[in-house]
Structure formats: structure tokens, C-alpha cells
Amino acid sequence: MAGLLSLCIAGNFNSPSTGVTSLVFASLFPVNLLLVLQSGGQLFTGNTATMAMGLIEGKCNLKHLAKSWIVAYIGNIIGCGMLAIVASYTGLLTGATAELAVKMTMKKCHYSFGQTLVKAIMCNWLVCMAVWLATSAQDLAGKMVGIWFPISMFVAIGFEHSVANFFMLPAGLLAGAPLSVADVIFKNLIPVTIGNTIAGALIIGCGFSFAFGSLGQGERGSFRGLVRLLTGQAAPAAKVPVAAH
């Protein structure tokens, strides 16, 4: 939704410079994550970290992780795709807004696989940090601050976020971008999804579990955590002492 809001506002500047457009997107895009977290929604990119940490710590198994990732990914595609269709049908993707959508779609599909992959890794590192900061906050104001700055950073810099692209790329195609569905899938969505997953599961998931969880509890803790990550085994339930009668 914030992507559509950003397109409509930035696209209707008389002569929007790159800097002004980036500033508008960076200022408004954090609304997306705030709505997701406050409403209890599921975001694929955030789930890559939380479910990986849950797997390492023995809170879930590989089946739970795969289900969470797949359901969130498909659900995010459906939701963003439907919003792009609604925006096109209602006439929001016209004029300068359509031109900006086409320009952004062409730019996102212009980079090499490696460039897009690295941009996606950097992006989800910041997104997962935003989720971590928001989760640790005690009130709405703290959550807003925790979300706003990391998300604004990735948007302003130009990193790649798979869920954001689930809206932006269909919007560009519907606005007339001279690309095929295969182009946006292979030139953007595949490397971005891989990069986002690497950042969430390995950099944040493993990194934070090492810093705060079982991966950092000596050699035995590290070994067991890695085994659970690689095999999908859940940790054995803790034994509860039985009181003597």
C-alpha cells in the first residue's frame, strides 16, 4: 500500500528529481512494515529470520519453517498483485504515476544477477533489523522509530526487497513497461528472493542466535544448533522435574 502511495505522490511532482523521489519513497515506505507488525500479518522477508532462529533454537522444525515461508511468500504475492490490479483498474496508474512505475520497473530489471543478489542481501539485513527493533520496543512510538530508519535506509539507497517488488513490478507491467512476466521473474524476483533469504536466515537468523542463543553457548551448543538448522530437527523438550511425594 505504501508503494502505491509513494508512486502517486512522487509521480505527481512537476519534475521529480531522483533525490526527491527517493526521499518520498523512503519517508512513506515504512508504513508497510508498521501495518504488518501491528496487525499481526506475515511478511516473507521477516519470516526468513524469525523462523530460522526458531529452527536453530528448537522452537520449530523444518516442516514448520518451510510452511511459513511458502505460505507467506504466496500470500504476499497474491496481496501485492491484487493491489497492483486494483490500482490499474481504478486509473491510479496513469500519467506521471505510470511513467514512474515503468521507469522503476525497467531499472529494477536492468542489473546483473549478482548485483541484484547483493542488493537483496543488504536490503533484508536492514528489514530484519527493523523487525527486531520493533519487536523489542514496548510501545507504538518505539516500534515506529525502530521501523522507520532501517526501512528508510534501504529504500533511499535502492536495495531490493522481494515483497515490495511483488507490487512494484506488476504495477510497472500494467502501466506499460516493455517487459514480460518472465523478465521480471528471472531478472529480479529470483535473485532478490535468494538474497533476501540469505540475509534473513543466515546473517540475522544465525548471527543473532550465535549472539543471544544456542549457537553462542560453547562448542556443544553451536554444534547442536547447526545440526538443527541443517537437518530441521527440533530440540528435545526440556525435562520437568517431578516433585517427590
Print burial letters for 161-174: b (CB count within 10 Å at least 16), e (below 16). bbbbbbbbbbbbbb
Name the least confident of 108-117, 163-172, 234-243: 234-243
pLDDT, mean of residues 20-48: 86
CA gap 84, 102 in Å, rounded: 13
pLDDT at residue 240, rounded to an integer: 43
- Per-residue pLDDT tens over the stretch 135-182: 888 889 999 999 999 998 888 888 999 999 999 999 999 999 999 999
Instruction: Check: CB of residue 195 under 8 Å from CB of residue 116.
Output: yes
- Per-residue pLDDT tens over the stretch 191-223: 999 999 999 999 999 988 888 877 666 544 555
pLDDT, mean of residues 2-14: 51
pLDDT at residue 235, rounded to an integer: 53
User: Which residues lie closer than 8 Å to 40 by C-beta, 6 or more apart?
Assistant: none
End-to-end CA distance of the chain: 61
- Structural domain 2-231, CATH architecture: Up-down Bundle (1.20)
- Per-residue pLDDT tens over the stretch 51-91: 999 998 888 899 999 999 999 999 999 999 999 999 999 99
Q: What does the domain layout of the chain look like in residue ranges?
A: 2-231
76 phi/psi in degrees, rounded to 5: -65, -40
Tell me the whole-structure pTM to 2 decimals: 0.81
